[in-house]
Amino acid sequence: MKKIVPVIVLALLFAIALFNDSALELSPTWSWVVTILLGLAMVVVLILSMTGKMIERRIVFLFVGISLVLPFFMNFTMPLNVSPVVQTLYDALNKLPKGSKVLASFDYDPPSAPELQPMADAFVKWAFRNDIKVIIVGLWPQGPLQANLSVEAAMADPEIAAKNPKYGVDYVNLGFQTGNEFVIQGMGTSFRAKFPTDLYNTPYDSIPLMRGVENFSNIDFVMNLSSGYPGTVEWVQIAVDRFGVPVGAGNTAVQAPQVYPYVESGQLTGLLGGMSGAAEFEKATGEAGQANTFLLSQSFAHLVVVGFILIGNVALFIGQNRRRAPLV
Amino acid sequence: MKREIPLIITFVAGCVFVIQYFIPHWPFNEFEQVFTDWFSIVQAFAIWLGALSLLKFSMLKIQRRQKDWYMSVIIIVGFAVMVAYGAYDGFVGMNANPAYSFRDPGTHFDWLYQNIYTPLTSTMFALLAFFVASASYRAFRARNFQATLLLIAGILVMIGRVPVGDLITQFLPESYRAANLADWIMNPLNATGQRAIMIGIALGTVSTSLRIILGIERSHLEG
């Protein structure tokens, strides 16, 4: 029974957070009170660890779960600065004239959606609002379906719905193609050869948006959202280095460090890294979305993890000193 | 001939890809297109092979009543349900007016994707956060100089990557705030290290590729 309590508490909290429609939102004062209580609980863990009683991992899980869920009920605003790598991407996109054709490659699947979907949503909304034509492709099988979710989210926006972007004219989903980086390479010669039909089996030549699009020379910008292979590295190595098309990217936080060298060298035109990159992009584009909400959760979770690292190390040092102390 | 033919195909395909990168004109661009198509076809078959292999493995596990065999039942049922609904929606959609795809919003397949596949896979990924926290508490220790450096860098990046970092360090001068320190770690330090690793990997890839193209390295033909 004792072992099940943390699971029940977490399940209840997640369930309430899932169905919470702001009715249970705490006032800023209560938000601070809850935060301080969480901090005090961490102090208890510190004291226990210092006395040599390492807490069970279920308790660690409970702390992480609570720190992830509580922010959904809180009323906090935190300063968020747009970092240079995000600003570079936004500036490059913003320079595109109306009617420009942007190829959006959705190279991820649902596990990475919490980080990448907010970027995709903000990008698609921004594109529709600014009359940018979006050509969607996917090097991952689930990518084009994730793109559809972003299009649906954009269409739910009253202002965009009023503009009524038309499928095949303002945007198109060419679907998934196997072949990893060879698809990118093939697109350098002929889009038609790699995507003879769209996701709904419409022939390439019957899609108004694709008329006049032969290869990358007819594309103004590539936006790549990726969580692994094939992804940003392949787009840089082939689309940028070989065919000279500018590429901007959004990556998971885990993958972002691997592509930083490409940003520094100028091969990659900006980078959105993880949830913070998504939130900064939302701020830059003015498309407030999920990332800003999720970022508060992530802030709390990061603090809790850092707290546990410090507690673990304090316990280690105190334990070492005890062992070194001479017996009286 | 069982070894010679794959070696010849590897040699020709490898040479064509190398040459067409530097000379993207006829006939190399045509060859490249052909080999790229081959690659896509082979990979499409590999997806089928993977699916069939998973089914075979799961069935054998059930037949032999191996540990956690009931998980294999879930795999097979999940596989069958997704394929069946995909095929059903595809067939109905093909004959509907206007025609629609099995992936369109509102289909059974789409419902399964949105409400079962997506939450399940996201949950698996989200579990990482819990295990990382637990492992950090128990194992991420400053036992020596290198581990201490890693620990400090890790903490700075974790704090600097979220807005609370700037909130905590707002009393410090601009360039010493958490976000700027995290950027400094990510850009000059991380980028330099990553670049060195990438150059090393690239050199290794070139040498291994040359060995494979020239038939010196033949381990891929075994098994």
Instruction: Express each pLDDT in B1-49 by its tens digit.
Output: 778 898 998 999 889 888 888 887 888 878 878 888 888 888 889 888 9
**Disruptive mutation site among B17, B112, B134 for chain A (greatest number of A CBs within 10 Å):** B134
Structure confidence at residue B87 (pLDDT): 94
Q: Is A54 on the interface with B (CB under 8 A)?
A: yes
What is the per-residue pLDDT across A26-53, written as a single tens digit (0 to 9) for each? 788 888 888 889 889 999 988 888 888 8
Residue A1 has pLDDT above 70, yes or no: no
Residue B131 has pLDDT above 70, yes or no: yes
Residue B60 has pLDDT above 70, yes or no: yes
Q: Is B186 on the interface with A (CB under 8 A)?
A: yes
Structure confidence at residue A237 (pLDDT): 93
* Closest chain A residue by Cα to residue B154: A306
Q: Rounded distance, CA A300 to CA A44, Å?
A: 18
Which spans in chain A are helix H?
A: 4-19, 28-50, 57-69, 84-94, 113-129, 143-155, 158-163, 181-189, 191-194, 232-234, 256-264, 274-285, 290-324
Structure confidence at residue A238 (pLDDT): 93
* Closest chain B residue by Cα to residue A314: B141
Q: Is A50 on the interface with B (CB under 8 A)?
A: no
Count of CB atoms within 10 A of residue A113's CB?
Answer: 19
Q: Is B209 on the interface with A (CB under 8 A)?
A: no
Which A residues 166-185 touch B at CB under 8 Å?
Answer: 177-180, 182-183, 185
Residue A325 has pLDDT above 60, yes or no: yes
Which B residues 103-132 touch A at CB under 8 Å?
Answer: 103-105, 110, 113, 117-119, 121-122, 124-126, 129-130, 132
Structure confidence at residue A315 (pLDDT): 86
**Would you say B14 and B209 are in contact if contact means Cβ atoms under 8 Å apart?**
yes
What is the per-residue pLDDT across A86-127, written as a single tens digit (0 to 9) for each? 999 999 999 999 999 999 999 999 989 989 999 999 999 999
The whole-model pTM stands at 0.86
Structure confidence at residue A218 (pLDDT): 96
**Would you say A171 and A179 are in contact if contact means Cβ atoms under 8 Å apart?**
no
Q: Give the closest of A183, A261, A295 to B163, CB-based.
A: A295
Structure confidence at residue A23 (pLDDT): 58
Please state the length of chain B.
223
Residue A278 has pLDDT above 80, yes or no: yes
What Rg value do the Cα atoms of chain A yield, rounded? 24
* Mean per-residue pLDDT, B144-168: 90
Crossing angle of helices A57-69/B118-139, nearest 10°? Answer: 120
Which B residues 22-81 touch A at CB under 8 Å?
Answer: 29, 32-33, 36-37, 39-40, 43-44, 47
Cis peptide before A230 (omega within 30 of 0): yes
* Mean per-residue pLDDT, A1-12: 70
